[in-house]
Amino acid sequence: MKILIVLIAVLSHCNSNQGLQENEPQMFRYEAVTRGSLYEVTITEDSLKVRSGLKGMDRAGRKITSEEWEQLLDVSGSFSLSEMDKFKSSGEKRFTDAAPAAMVEIKSPGGTYKSAEFDHGGAPKPLESLVKAILSLAETVE
């Protein structure tokens, strides 16, 4: 009987860890677009790539540290990935080209999650920390 209880405990622990891995992000992407202009930041566990300028022609990148990656994982853990598309924008400047239209995309083994569009510089409250972290990392690319 004790063996059965131990076996059930071990299996349930393995299943709970597997669920965590399904939603652990593998890629973060921030995109801000306006007429003819693109600013895109893509971050994976080992790289940071920035595209900008007219149609995203200018490209740059670098490796990221494990500390930088962990920081992104920490801030992305403050909200549910499946709820990202429901976060409301605080402004509507993107509708009149007063601000680029921005969005965040996160890929994990469990799927791809995209936010609703928002004004560049005006992320919804739950995404603010993540967007700030992504953009501050992008500023370190030469």
When divided into structural domains, the chain yields a total of 1
Assess if residue 70 is contained within a domain.
yes
Supply the CATH number for residue 98's domain.
3.30.1560
Q: Does residue 4 sit within a domain?
A: no
Of 31-35, 104-108, 116-120, highest mean pLDDT: 104-108
Confidence grade of residue 81 (pLDDT, cut at 50, 70, 90): very high
Higher pLDDT, 55 or 43: 43
Whether residue 75 is contained in a domain is answered as yes
Report if residue 12 sits inside a domain: no
- Whole domain around residue 123: which residue ranges? 24-138
Where does the pLDDT of residue 17 fall: very low under 50, low under 70, confident under 90, or very high at 90 and above? Answer: very low
Pairing of strands 101-108, 111-114: antiparallel
Nearest to 27 by CA among 17, 37, 41, 13: 41
Q: Which residue matches tokens 């469990």?
A: 110
**Residue 96 per-residue DSSP state:** G
